Structure 1
Amino acid sequence: MSLQLVKTAELNPNKNYVLGCHPHGIMSVGAFVCFTTESCGFIETFPGVRSCLAVLAGLFRIPLLREYLMCAGLYPVSKPSLTHLLSKSGKGNAVVIVIGGAAESLASSPGINTVVMRKRKGFVRVALQFGADLVPVYSFGENELFRQVIFTEGSVGLRLQNLFKKIAGFAPCLFLGERLGWLPYRTPVTTVVGSPISVPKLALASDKEVDYYHGLYMEALTKLFHEHKV
């Protein structure tokens, strides 16, 4: 499996950014490798910009997994965490959020590109609150890395999945890989970082203002997908 980071525009190190990454896939491999490690050369590609990946806050409540996530340099998607990264850490911060979450993960399947976006507006409100430019990101090949087991309606597996979601706040999924059953298929993943969308600083943005910039983001994401899809 090869991973590649592609730049389509410069990111000004004197600004902060909220990068929305799509699709979620099973493991968000593209987002993790490109934005929490230097395997794809983020620092060289975007000089002066520091990337950090923010993931589901509920994961930090699980013992041992919490310690692993912190050692890997991950942050929870929580108000205190995002406030710190976007207002107390200076400039040149690129906070990466995998927008679609569990809903998008459960829709992950080879050959299918499902993005859960229409009602996901919290990241836009955060960007407006701190005046951080929005940047769409798409990881092509992410959904090809694993084969998900889809539970039928009324099955025991689906009931257990929903029960876990109620308890832990997110739904687990059963998936299969290539070697040993859990390693990803040897499919290339290309993560394309789009052009930043200029966002004003509005501490108390109205719903209309949030909808406007959310619409701009969706248009930019759609354009990015069609311009770079294989």
Structure 2
Amino acid sequence: MPVTKFLLAGTLKWNFKCPLVRELMLALGLIDVSKTTLLKVLKKPGRAVALAVGGAEESLLSRPHTLDLVLKKRQGFIRIALQTGAAVVPVLVFGENDVWHAHQVKEGKLHSIQEAVKRATGFTVPLAHGRGFFYGPVGLLPFREPINVVVGGPLQVEQYNGDMKSTEAEQLVSKYHQEYIQKLQALYDAHKDVFFSDRVSDMRLVK
């Protein structure tokens, strides 16, 4: 297995279409998460890409002391791994939902706007608040809460060179996707009482 020498972070392709934002993304070494780019990068030895699998949809589910994930219907990253032979490494972030307090909007005009923006651009802005600039109760600064990142062992994926639309490929995608979920659950169970003791619910795969 090649040693990872370059870890790149993926972001929305839309970010590279905005003046100044594009230059910032390039300066930070980010790449877009389009299929073409990911395949090109991961076919080179020693390359890895960090992805936020849940994306914008998951951000709308964030609540303090919860960990609701959009993962059950996300299999694209497994397909990329299958085509390139890249290992898939489960990563969990505890406390990320506590640094801003998001408010779930399930219906009404605001929800419609959030969904429309998400469909058009791939991202959205949750309704959230943090602390004030001068220690006020409400503001835009993040709350001072610890964030802990835990990394699990890699899921080795054997490269598949056949037709990705075939039944065999679909079965392999489902197999590796389920194995990834199991690894993620094991990672959560191993660390939840250390880094997530104030949880109001356990990790859930809601979509």
TM over 0.5: yes
Instruction: Verify: 1:172 aligned to 2:125, yes or no.
Output: yes
Match of 2:21 in 1: 65
Instruction: Verify: 1:203 aligned to 2:203, yes or no.
Output: no
Deviations 1:43-67 (A, max 9, x none): xxxxx53211111222222222222
Secondary structure of 2:182 counterpart: helix
Deviations 1:77-125 (A, max 9, x none): 012221221123xx22221111001111100110111011111000001
> Structure 1 residue 169: deviation in Å?
3.1
The one-letter code of the counterpart of 2:53 is: I
Separation in 1, partners of 2:147, 2:47? 24
| TM-aligned CA distance change 1:116 to 1:166, over 3 Å | closer
Instruction: Verify: 1:54 aligned to 2:15, yes or no.
Output: no
List 4+ stretches of structure 1 deviating above 6 A: none
TM-score normalised according to structure 1 size = 0.74
Match of 2:94 in 1: 140
The one-letter code of the counterpart of 2:185 is: T
Q: Gaps (5+ residues) in structure 2?
A: 134-138, 195-207
> With CA pairs under 8 Å and 6+ residues apart, which has the higher RCO, 1 or 2?
1
Deviations 1:141-190 (A, max 9, x none): 11111111333512x32232223233323322232112332221111111
Secondary structure of 2:92 counterpart: strand
Separation in 1, partners of 2:114, 2:156? 40
Separation in 2, partners of 1:122, 1:163? 22
Separation in 2, partners of 1:193, 1:136? 6
Q: Gaps (5+ residues) in structure 1?
A: 1-11, 16-47
The one-letter code of the counterpart of 1:202 is: Y
Separation in 1, partners of 2:38, 2:122? 19
Secondary structure of 1:223 counterpart: helix
Separation in 1, partners of 2:120, 2:153? 38
Greater mean alpha carbon deviation, residues 185-194 or residues 48-57? 48-57
Separation in 1, partners of 2:40, 2:185? 30
Paired residue total: 183
Q: Give the root-mean-square deviation of aligned CA atoms.
A: 1.7
Counterpart of 1:182 (choices 140, 157, 169) is 140
Separation in 1, partners of 2:119, 2:103? 20
Separation in 2, partners of 1:200, 1:224? 22
Match of 1:103 in 2: 57
The one-letter code of the counterpart of 2:50 is: V
Match of 2:151 in 1: 193
Percent same amino acid at aligned positions?
38
Separation in 1, partners of 2:43, 2:94? 31
Match of 1:224 in 2: 187
